[in-house]
Amino acid sequence: MQDLRTATPALTVLSEEESMFREAVREFAESEVRPHVQAMDEAGALNADLIPKFFELGLMGIEVPEQYGGAGGSIFMAVLAIEELARVDASAAIYVDVHNTLVNNAFLRWAGPEQHARYFPRLTTDLLGAFALSEPGSGSDAFALATRAERKGSGWELTGRKFWITNGAEAGVFIVFANTDPSKGYKGITAFIVERDFPGFTVGKKENKLGIRASSTTELILEQCAVPEENVMGPVGQGYKIAIETLNEGRIGIGAQMIGVGGGALEAATNYVKERKQFGKAIAEFQGVQFQLAQMATDLEAARLMVYNAARLKDAGLPFAQQAAMAKLFSSQVADRTTSSCLELFGGYGYSKEYPAEKYYRDAKIGTIYEGTSNMQLQTIAKGMLK
């Protein structure tokens, strides 16, 4: 049967290179990630061997130019990788997602040539990155952040706390947002490149989460953290712009995660209903079950097209912020519904950790929350419509 992901309009048809890349990631996810999924979920930690393998496979520098050790690829290729990993394990996918769509993306657009030369060779080989914007008092209102940056001699001192930082436990470099001049409001926000061993920097507690449990989510503590002048990313006072524009691409990555999670759940449920027998026949033979599967497949295909379209627009250099918000909103809604329905198709077994349905259900929920809640996506979409 033809793969539905290649039977789409011209905008989303995969090239031979993209198809080969997707298949390589799928094989990796099946052979290297799937055997560890249940143990990682229970332990609340990623298998230590996986991050080095992400780098070895070239998954951590997809858009980075070849001169710095990257693949010189596109956000669309990053989407394919994230989707295929999330189909097996959303926690594995988020490591690749954040590193590419937030960290590398911010470096590509806003870091200077010297910063590129200093960090990209490691960001593509062994240095995991994290994006530190959120704080205890600033979630959806991201620019109400309280972390401060003060000039000290030839550099800066950062003081504050960051919450909900993905990749925090393992990352070696962090893009940290702090306000250099609170009197200017959000126009004082500046981005800083903070290395894990900088004086005054500490990784705090790790969150014990409902889903994506193997992905580390931590607190960061900055106590007069010393940051040299050459580690300011972009112009001073332009941090708000860096954050907004970086998160626009990040939302495409979240969309890819969600279609991966929904697709993995649907695949598991489809296999199960062909095996499970009731009233003398497989439950897949009941029309009610068939209709549920058909509706879920249709919803997922629509979400996939939206995510792919947003990625293609970004790669083409066209406006994509509204489409990214729509893709993130809709794909997270679809993943939430799909994983719930799939769990129900497993019956009582769906509620058991011996089967995959309940984990897909837990992993899907975060999609409506992080990198902008669903309400914030609706606000972005509405603003674009009314502009």
User: What are the contacts of 289-297 at 24+ separation with CB within 8 A?
Assistant: 289/345, 292/341, 292/345, 293/266, 293/269, 296/262, 296/266, 296/337, 296/338, 296/341, 296/342, 297/4, 297/266
Structure tokens at 381: 């979409």
Q: Output the CA torsion 137→139→143→148 (10° steps).
A: 40
The three-state secondary structure class of 198 is coil
Structure tokens at 219: 């607190």
Of these residues, 84, 157, 219, 371, which one is catalytic? 371
Query: Is 102 within 8 Å of 250 (Cβ atoms)?
Result: yes
Query: Is 144 within 8 Å of 138 (Cβ atoms)?
Result: yes
Q: Which of 333, 335, 331, 351 is nearest to 343 (CA)?
A: 351
173, β-bridge pairs: 129, 195
Name the strand (E) or helix (H) holding 281: strand 281-282
Catalytic residue check, 371: yes
Query: Is 97 within 8 Å of 131 (Cβ atoms)?
Result: no
Instruction: Give the gyration radius of the chain's Cα atoms.
Output: 21
Q: How far apart are CA 106 and CA 348, in angstroms?
A: 45
135 secondary structure, DSSP code:
B
Backbone angles phi, psi at 157, to 5 degrees: -120, 125
Question: Among all chains, which residue has been given the structure tokens 């990313």?
Answer: 233
Q: Which of 373, 377, 370 is nearest to 321 (CA)?
A: 377
Burial group, residue 7, by CB count within 10 angstroms (0-12, 13-18, 19+): exposed
The three-state secondary structure class of 189 is strand
Which amino acid is residue 266, in one-letter code?
L
Please give the positions annotated as active site: 371
